[in-house]
Structure 1
Amino acid sequence: MNHLDVRASRLMQWCGCALLAAALCAPAAAQAPAAGKSDALYMYRGADRDARLVERAKQEGSVVVYTSLATRESTPLAQAFEKKYGIKVELWRTTSDKVVQRAVTEGQARRYSVDVLETNGPEMEMLAREKLLAEFYSPHLADLPPNAVAPSRLWVTDRLNFFVVAFNTAKIKREDIPAHYEGFLDPKWKGQIGIEATDSEWMATVIKKLGQERGMTLFERLSAMRPDIRKSHILLTEMVGAGEVPVALTVYNSEVESLKRRGGPIDWVAVEPVIGRPQGIGVARNAPHPNAALLFADFVLSSEGQELFSAMGRVPSSLKVKSTLNRFAYTMIDPATVLDENEKWEALWDKLFLKK
């Protein structure tokens, strides 16, 4: 769920060390098809596609989903799918790093249990590079923005997270929130702002958006403000709601909306430059239930699934679903860049905010 979790080299080393234990602990799975056996199924576009897919998915009877989507949202999503199709969803919800760890470990052991993977964009890119995902066709891809399909075509953005500024409404007035992050360099904000401890990808994207000189100046001066550093976007959001951190510069607007809807004294502002982070879905290359896997992906990307995301306070990727959570200009994080330039930005982030 955080940037420390997407350090490719460390995660791959972790997976290797955990290989034997995870393989022994993993639940028994159906014999996986040979690599590529489901490719034709995943890419089928015949007129009978939908009817055939539903019939065969029902014959399989279940679908196994690994996700980092919060339980309060992943469970209703699974229940809606079960109600519509009568197909059991075996949901395993954990943090994004553990989704990758388990999938890679099982793949190395050739013990395939998972059908669908749904987590952060950088982690989905890692799974794609590990050759654990397969390209798939869905009629609902036409409803997504062009950049929703990863360049590898092995995963698709199904929802979005936006880094926004959250504030405690009992302590801070909306009109006092600056329009740009540079506004928080005013000395009056010292001692009032917090940031999440692992957001180097946010910093990297902001610097690239503003240009090297202006971007570096912003973060060097922000570092000098000595912001309150907290690990976990959810925790930071809750601390804003509790008033312990009056203003947080890097929280997800969907998390703020969730707390706000529960009556918390919290709100958010899309401060420029707004950075978005893709969350993705993919079907496992060696899915034991390939028809159910594709049907579940179809459901999540459909207007029905996307409307459900929106109703739960998440930002849908579909252009057909209206949301109040994406009505602003934004720049998307590039998951491939997160992985390829990880060491550079991680080192800068640690220097500026963690090594104090």
Structure 2
Amino acid sequence: MSLRWIMRGAVALLAVGWGVEMSSAADQALIDAAKKEGSVSWYTALIVNQFARPVAEAFEKKYGIKVDYVRANAGETILRIQNEAKAGRVMVDVFDSFGAPQLEKDGMLTSYTPENARRLPQEFYDPKGFWTASNLYVLTPGFNTDLVPKGSEPKTFADLLDPKWRGKMAWSSNVSPASGPGFIGLVLGEMGEEKGMDYLRKLAGQRIAGIPLAARQVLDQVIAGEYSIALQIFNNHTVISKAQGAPSDWIMMQPALVALSVFSLPKNAPHPNAGKLLVDYIVSEEGQKAFRDADYMPVDPNVPPRDASLRPDGKTFRARYLTPDELDQALPVWGKIYNDIFR
């Protein structure tokens, strides 16, 4: 089965209408309606202390609207929303996840494009209005610098086949872009199906540990010395940990896989206007700078990350970009290959 990959440049495109009403999210009428609701419930995969808590506090200070957040990985968030919808009692107003297309197919999302999304490149918001990108996740290997001295780390796919790494690597076994299945998709997209499958069969001989946890937790185990190398983790997480004194760094293995973290609004949310206002705030210049200051990767091309090397530039650091819709189509295929070869 061939996979279609779309490469995108960093040039901002003009936002155009696609039959979806582009209402002004931050106009006074919406602010007033959101303030009447008084609070907003947010399910997030973002690190609480690093981003969710400070952004919630900034939003509360700006609008006087209380933010209640719950952190979970993408799969847990999607399952929770599905269960709430089936029970007829949706508890969340806004969420960030890779799984928006799945909920869209189930008719569980509200179409809304925030005003602040207009200034972003067109590929960073859904033309149907079901998601708006907030930040980029650049997926690369990471490693423990105490166990793998700088300069000795594997730098290419071929290097990962070196017998010295056998039994020393780990990745998430979840079906997501930040996991073994995500790595499989990257390899197939880069090498093609025949060569890619041959490579993956050889890689299976390296006895990579499949951990049923989020990529952040896999990296934590590597930092703790359980493994030397984590495959398919968020490169900015290594920077965050390194700044806190951890033996952590990332590898500019090319290409990287870049996935969009997106915000969406569920149908029948208890505080729909507050949810819309929070999404607009997230993609505003102020919200994008909050991502930068937390060492995340803003989607706004005019707000570069503090460590510019983290963001692929298409020259010294090459990447493959996938939208949530493309991931939704491809992940089941990658997951099956993972089960067939690596389980």
Residues 1-356 of structure 1 mapped to structure 2, 5 A cutoff:
43-45=22-24, 50-72=27-49, 73-119=51-97, 121=98, 123-150=99-126, 152-198=128-174, 199=179, 200-232=181-213, 233-323=215-305, 324=307, 325-327=310-312, 328-354=317-343
Against the structure 1 CA distance between its residues 234 and 204, is the aligned structure 2 distance closer, same or farther, given a 3 Å change threshold? Answer: same
Partner letter of residue 304 of structure 1? Answer: E
Q: Report the Cα offset of residue 207 of structure 1.
A: 0.5
Unmatched tracts of structure 1, length 5 or more: 1-40
- The answer to whether the 8 A contact 2:92-2:270 is kept is yes
Distance 1:255 1:62 in 2: 30
- The answer to whether the 8 A contact 1:118-1:279 is kept is yes
Against the structure 1 CA distance between its residues 174 and 65, is the aligned structure 2 distance closer, same or farther, given a 3 Å change threshold? Answer: same
SS at structure 1 position matched to 2:27: helix
Q: Report the Cα offset of residue 98 of structure 1.
A: 2.7
Distance 1:229 1:110 in 2: 36
Q: CA RMSD in A?
A: 2.4
Q: Report the Cα offset of residue 294 of structure 1.
A: 1.3
- The answer to whether the 8 A contact 2:222-2:229 is kept is yes
Against the structure 1 CA distance between its residues 88 and 349, is the aligned structure 2 distance closer, same or farther, given a 3 Å change threshold? Answer: same
Q: Report the Cα offset of residue 42 of structure 1.
A: 7.2
Distance 2:221 2:134 in 1: 28
Partner letter of residue 163 of structure 2? Answer: P
Partner letter of residue 202 of structure 2? Answer: R
- The answer to whether the 8 A contact 2:255-2:320 is kept is yes
Distance 2:106 2:166 in 1: 44
Partner letter of residue 326 of structure 1? Answer: R
Distance 1:343 1:133 in 2: 21
Q: Report the Cα offset of residue 341 of structure 1.
A: 4.5
Against the structure 1 CA distance between its residues 193 and 111, is the aligned structure 2 distance closer, same or farther, given a 3 Å change threshold? Answer: closer
Partner letter of residue 123 of structure 2? Answer: N
- The answer to whether the 8 A contact 2:138-2:257 is kept is yes
- TM-score normalized by the length of structure 2: 0.82
Against the structure 1 CA distance between its residues 74 and 143, is the aligned structure 2 distance closer, same or farther, given a 3 Å change threshold? Answer: same
Unmatched tracts of structure 2, length 5 or more: 1-19
Distance 2:21 2:66 in 1: 20
- The answer to whether the 8 A contact 2:23-2:115 is kept is no
- TM-score normalized by the length of structure 1: 0.80
- The answer to whether the 8 A contact 1:143-1:319 is kept is no
Distance 2:113 2:325 in 1: 22
- The answer to whether the 8 A contact 1:197-1:230 is kept is yes
Deviations 1:194-232 (CA, angstroms, capped at 9, x unpaired)? 332232133123202321122112211111122233332
Distance 1:346 1:112 in 2: 29
Number of corresponding residues: 311
Q: Report the Cα offset of residue 253 of structure 1.
A: 1.3
Where do 4+ consecutive residues of structure 1 move more than 4 Å?
Answer: none
Structure index of larger Rg: 1
Q: Report the Cα offset of residue 158 of structure 1.
A: 0.9
- The answer to whether the 8 A contact 1:206-1:275 is kept is no
Q: Report the Cα offset of residue 177 of structure 1.
A: 2.8
Report the structure, 1 or 2, having the larger helix content: 1
SS at structure 2 position matched to 1:172: coil
Distance 2:230 2:240 in 1: 16
Q: Report the Cα offset of residue 70 of structure 1.
A: 2.6
